[in-house]
């Protein structure tokens, strides 16, 4: 399988510290936290060989109900910080269509099936040969970012990269510690 994303960065694992920062920005409208996360994410992008080659920054779109229920749309706000630091425009190339059910509690396969077909390219947009950076707040199964990238690649984007604040880590088994010999 060919991955739709050519490279990705994240600030860290979705553990207690990043979870508090993300929820503070997302649900409490803490713009100072948002600025900090955006600046750190921009530094991470700029350390990558592709960091200065992207043509535009693309926030993952959210549903209408989420936009009105939260003080900040984190992917859009992060995209604007990245745009300023990368000197690239924010482009709203993607639109959310349909009403997928919430991803919480779904298996990876169910998440991929749930988001399939929920994004489309905005009307009148041409992206042939472009290099794009998709921005989201948390990457869990990669389903959302991959679906956005798939739509962009099918529409002609040459390369798609991703930047997220956090990535959930799969649970790890603790190592077995045997009895001393």
Tell me which range, 13-17, 44-48, 137-141, is most confidently predicted by mean pLDDT.
Answer: 44-48
For 74-101, b where at least 16 C-beta lie within 10 A, e where not — what string?
bbbbbbbbbbebbebebbebbebeeebe
What's the topology of domain 7-167?
Rossmann fold (3.40.50)
> In whole angstroms, how far apart are CA 136 and each of 75, 124, 128, 176, 178?
5, 24, 23, 36, 42
Rounded Cα gap, residues 52 and 91, in angstroms: 16
Q: Tens digit of pLDDT for each residue in 53-101?
A: 999 999 999 755 555 555 567 899 999 999 999 999 999 999 988 766 6
Model confidence, pTM: 0.84
């Amino acid at each position: 399988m060919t991955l739709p994303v050519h490279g990705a960065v994240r600030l860290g694992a979705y553990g207690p510290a990043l979870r508090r920062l993300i929820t503070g920005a997302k649900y409490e409208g803490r713009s100072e936290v948002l600025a900090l996360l955006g600046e750190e994410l921009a530094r991470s992008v700029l350390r990558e060989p592709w960091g200065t080659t992207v043509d535009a920054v693309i926030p993952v779109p959210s549903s209408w109900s989420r936009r009105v229920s939260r003080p900040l749309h984190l992917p859009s706000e992060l995209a604007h910080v990245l745009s300023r630091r990368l000197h690239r425009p924010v482009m709203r190339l993607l639109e959310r269509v349909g009403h997928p059910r919430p991803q919480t509690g779904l298996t990876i396969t169910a998440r991929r099936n749930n988001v399939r077909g929920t994004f489309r390219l905005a009307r009148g947009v041409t992206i042939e040969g472009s290099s794009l950076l998709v921005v989201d707040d948390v990457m869990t199964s990669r389903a959302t970012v991959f679906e956005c990238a798939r739509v962009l690649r099918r529409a002609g984007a040459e390369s798609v990269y991703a930047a997220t604040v956090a990535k959930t880590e799969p649970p790890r088994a603790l190592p077995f510690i045997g009895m001393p010999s």
